[in-house]
Amino acid sequence: MLATKEDTCLKRVNLSDDEIKEIDKEYCSWGDTVHYHDEQTIFRDCEGSYMYDGNETPYLDLQMWYSACNLGFKNKRILDAVMDQYSSMPQISSRFVYDYKALLARKIALANLDRYGIKGRVQFNVGGAQANEDMLKLIRNYTKKPRMFAFMGGYHGRTIGTTAVTSSYRYREHFGHMSDTAHFVPFPYCFRCPYGKKCESCDMYCAKQFARLFESEYNGIYDPATKDCEFGGFIAEPLLGTGGDIVSPKGYFKELKKVLDEHNIIFMVDEVQMGCFRTGKLWAMEHFGVKPDAMTFAKSITNGMNPLAGMWAKEELINPQIFPAGRTHSTYAANPIGTRAGYEVMSIFEEERETLEREIARKGAKFLDGLKELEKKYKNIGTVNGLGFALSIEVTEEDGFTPAKKLCDDIIEDGLKGNLTYKGKKCGIVLNNGGYYKNIITLVPQLYFSDEEIDMALELIDQLFARHTKG
């Protein structure tokens, strides 16, 4: 007979906000991201699109745990599935196969067969960085080549392997030389084009510059005589996530994929932030008309209920003869709580596919139109950007171009004070920043974000810019 909660469970602690902060300050490492900011808002509850502080003040959340809770906080259906799994088989070694591991893998594999027409298999792990590590291993195993291409502005994790393919040097600078650091290629970030071109007249100049690398051995990556490339793969986010929710121009990925296919370079897609209907498609790369050879997923695959991630790859890369038992492993890979939550999430996506695709496209366009009106109103908004529910506001000086990181930080911090108002009621807003200069406010609401919540978000963002700029 199972022990009861009264027999085994300690009562929930009841600390004040100040007590929590003091304990954190003394005993927690500051090496995570909590202490980017001096002042901390202590949240006590969450539901739907909102976080709540100790005074029950609602904060409209437009970052949703870095896009890990796409189906909203406390989603009842997923909570019920997780609690059912806790009461049946909550623990099992990843050495063993069991029902929901196999069932979730089948759902993802069949979803990709439907969308891309490619048979493949799924390998699970516990987080986005770990899944990307597995994908890098997979490609190195297949090609026997350790080096990769990646985008400037891309983000793939903070493990040793994933920092080597993440362009931000600050993630590597304290940990010694990494001989397999990627060759970083400019992302087609049209507002700040690295080549100084205009999107409407450049004729995909950036894609052509990448293709030119293969013209001569003296460009350092390819031998035209043997047709051998030093680089085995190209890892790419469909939209730059941490890089600012930047959307590439139409046709770019098709041009890039042509070059990769011509030179036998494997195309790896990181869907950790942009997958799970964030952009209105199950996988964001669907918008761009190209097929991945391998891809990763994480975060919202469980709606943030338990760590689970994974990679999918086409059969020729991941079949048991090429990628046999033991090539990669994690104690918590394919854990039963995560796979059960993931199965429920994928079931929701299957059942609601048509509605999600239609409504996220409609609401995302409405939200973006509202942001464009704010861009017209405020000189300190250089541009707005978006696809589905992955949107962004580039915060600038009054010239409309010079990055304004401090202003961006001030706006985000003010939103967390909980002293905004909507329809006469006190509230706050949870925002996040990204971009090359950390001056971009990224907006990733839950997928069931209502029309009224869009109006509320626009009103609160308007209030913040009115407080901090001259208009």
Indicate if the pLDDT at residue 1 is higher than 60: no
Q: Is the torsion defined by CA of 281, 287, 292, 296 positive or negative? A: negative
Q: What is the pLDDT of residues 239-284, one digit of tens each?
A: 999 999 999 999 999 999 999 999 999 999 999 999 999 999 999 9
pLDDT > 60? residue 228: yes
Answer whether residue 2 shows pLDDT above 60.
no
* Selection from 295, 311, 228 nearest residue 264 by Cα: 228
Question: Band of the pLDDT at 178, cuts 50, 70, 90?
Answer: confident
Share of residues in the chain with pLDDT > 90 (%): 93
Mean pLDDT, rounded, of the chain:
96
Q: Is the pTM of this model over 0.85?
A: yes
Burial class (CB in 10 A: 0-12, 13-18, 19+), 137: middle
Place of tokens 């609601």: 352
| Per-residue model confidence (pLDDT) at position 39 | 85
- Give me the mean pLDDT over the 88-114 stretch: 97
Q: What pLDDT digit, counting tens, does each position of 51-62 carry?
A: 999 999 999 999
The encoded tokens of residue 387 equal: 């696809």
Closest to 125 (Cα-Cα) out of 141, 101, 151: 101
